[in-house]
Amino acid sequence: MSVVVRKPSGELLLYTKGADMMIYQRLKDDPAMMKLKNITRDHMEKYADDGLRTLALAMKKLDERWFQQWKMRFDDAQGNVAEIDRRKDGKPNAIDDLMEEIEEGLELIGATAIEDKLQDGVPQCLANLTRAGIKVWMLTGDKEETAINISYACSLLDNTIQQVIVNATTCPDEAAIRAKLNAAAREFMDNAKGMAGGAEKEISLVIDGEALEMALQPGTAPHLLSFAKLCRAVICNRVSPAQKAEMVKLVRDNIKTVRTLAIGDGANDVAMIQAAHVGVGISGQEGMQAVNSSDYAIAQFRFLERLLLVHGRWNYIRISKLVLYMFYKNITLVLAQYWYGYLSGASGSKMYWEIGVQLYNIAFTGLPIVVVGVLDKDLPAPFSLEYPDLYRRGPERFFFNMYTFGRWIAAAFYESLIIFIVMSYGFNASEKAAGSESRVEFGMVAFSLTVLIVNIKIWMIADRWTVLSFSLWFGSVMSWFAFAALGTETPYFATFKVGYDEFGAFAPTAKTWGYFLVLIMGCSLALGRHIAYNLYQRTFHPDLAQLLQESMGGASQRKYQRRLTINNMEEQTLSMSLDDVHTTGYLSDFGHSDAEILKAQHPQSFTATGTLYEQPKKSVTSTTGASVPHSTTSVSSGVTDSYSASVFSESISEDATWERVPTKMLRATQGRRNTGFAFSCDEETTLAESYIASNSLPRSDAISTAMRNSTSSTGGGASARRVSMGRVRLLS
């Protein structure tokens, strides 16, 4: 960015700030300035290593006559609509050429280094987005060292991820970039094939603006995209706003199965935000340009987690249900009329009452699905945040795909056929026996059955019912019967709105035993298949969302609850045999991939031997001192980032109120953020169930409290209590 200022003396000066790479290219070739350039570059590299954001500063004296001539040309270019459009499209244009012209021959002034602290919750937000299956790429104008440090700070990178660094120094041309990317991809694939259980090491790409400019050329872009798809993260540093937009377009235009989201807070992010499928602007210190150009605006980066994992997931499920149901209910109505054509000899006569058909989508079936499409929630918001894996159903297109669409169409086909068969062999036969069969009566009953079936269907697919949704559902069903009774029995409607065929047809029909028998039989046969399938699927093949729904059940459901297990995650059990407790305090931590016994800071200690049961079995032994209680404990962890801790002390939670909880609800708390439950049992008690303290604290508070209490205890003995963060079961 450059500004032109005039001093009180009348002298014109141009001041410029920007990335060191861009500023150094515009400096005049002066040997006397070489020392300053080297010193400034060393300083900026040191600042970048410390995680600071650096900018170089330069200036230039301007000749008055030359500047006036340049300004006239610049004003003409800015007023030229064609040049403006070319600049917006990223094509060569006179505006950029004139800016390049005035920014040549600069003198270096120095550099700035600014600490730009991460907002609260950014690391946790990115970690959960990654767990949800979202690939996170960082596009920044910072130096390479700064970008890498920020990536570590926000958990985008860690020491287990291999970094493939591509810059203008290591890869000076397109051929070198292609060779490095292809070699890294082959190495990664070979390692992946050689690793058992899919435990291949993750990789990331770090590329700077100069290398990216070459990598985005038509001959190299496919290689860049292929390698980027293998990466856990992509970090583009020293990139311009146009390059940010080009990276988004590269993914958007070439991978049709994904959706892109760009988030930023400054004017440099506007092009990227507008290029993505979804743009999110953050309001902050850098102005409102990003917010004004975005689809969604948030105040802090961490709110992106809730926007996607909660509201994004809810709305995907809602819209899927809305679209599928709209097709289903209309196909059901139309196909029943189609089957009637076989009964009427393909005469073209209508089975339904015409006004009923006109109001079918508005009054009789429209409002309940609108409520589902706006307010339906399969799980409360905390569950979506605590189990990011729930979000994966969206990118996998689980709720709306050709298979799901085909199932709904097949259901409409089947249920319309049931309506026709029940009407033909149930109601029609009974009416023939009574000598009162007619097309109008047949159509009235068929339409009643259709309205009932499609409305009960929405009751079955909705996950959340409120007073509003139930009222609208009940009102939609009853509105048909009220309208049918009013419309066919009132002379006014018969004369002007209905016609004489339907006049007086509904009341006599509704009084027959066959009418109610057909409604009951038709609904049972049509929807029994759906109920049976749901029961089978939830009983034998439940997904994570259904298990979490079940964990929210009341006391009457607890005996039917199963243990909550998360797919693709191992469960490990650590069994420890301990002899006498004479310690004043002890803290142990059991992780997912190993069992580590940590010694707390207190004067006494003890010896513990544990065996970790997994595939294959292996033993873990840790000796930290002397003394032992005589009991066996089992601590189970089923989530990768779960935290289980055991504290041995005489004075922990003395005033706690303990209540018994089902195993499943207990398992559901593992691995959840900001959730700490203290479990307690007497040393001599044998428990098959678990107990939970009603005055439980957040995990960090509970652990610190337990540590504080344990270190303040004096002496010990057989009466020591055990308090654990996690599932604890005393075996003997």
Binding residues for Mg(2+): 265, 269
CA distances from 620 to 590, 611, 637, 645, 731 (A): 11, 5, 16, 17, 20
The neighbour count for residue 360, using CB atoms within 10 Å, is 20
Q: What is the DSSP letter of 119?
A: P
Q: Which residues are annotated as a binding site for ATP?
A: 17, 53, 140-142, 238, 244, 268-269
SS3 732: coil
Buried b (16+ CB within 10 A) or exposed e, 617-627: eeebeeeeeee
Q: Which two tokens stand for residue 722?
A: 């055990």
DSSP-based three-state secondary structure for 504: coil
Neighbouring residues of 677: CB distance < 8 A, sequence distance ≥ 6: 666, 669, 692, 693, 696, 725
Rounded Cα distance between 178 and 363, Å, is 62
| Binding site listing | 17, 53, 140-142, 238, 244, 265, 268-269
| Dist. CA 662–CA 250, nearest whole Å | 50
E strand or H helix at 618 = strand 618-623
> Which of 335, 305, 338, 289 lies closest to 125 in space, CA to CA?
305
d(CA 327, CA 406): 11
CA distance 630 to 126: 44
Q: Given its phi and psi angles, is residue 722 left (phi above 0), alpha (psi -120 to 50 degrees) or beta?
A: beta
Contact between 206 and 164 under an 8 Å Cβ cutoff? The reply is yes
Q: Are 235 and 138 in contact (CB under 8 A)?
A: yes
Helix axes 241-254, 221-228, angle to 10 degrees: 80
Closest to 265 (Cα-Cα) out of 127, 59, 122, 80:
122
Torsion of CA 496, 502, 504, 507, to 10 degrees: -120
Cα torsion 629, 632, 633, 634 to 10°: value is 160
Distance (Å, whole) CA 139 – CA 438: 71
Kind and range of the H or E run holding 4: strand 2-6
E strand or H helix at 26, and its extent? none
Question: Under a CB-based contact definition with an 8 Å cutoff, are residues 610 and 628 in contact?
Answer: no
Burial label, 608 (beta-carbon count in 10 A; 0-12, 13-18, 19+): buried
The DSSP secondary-structure symbol of 616 reads S
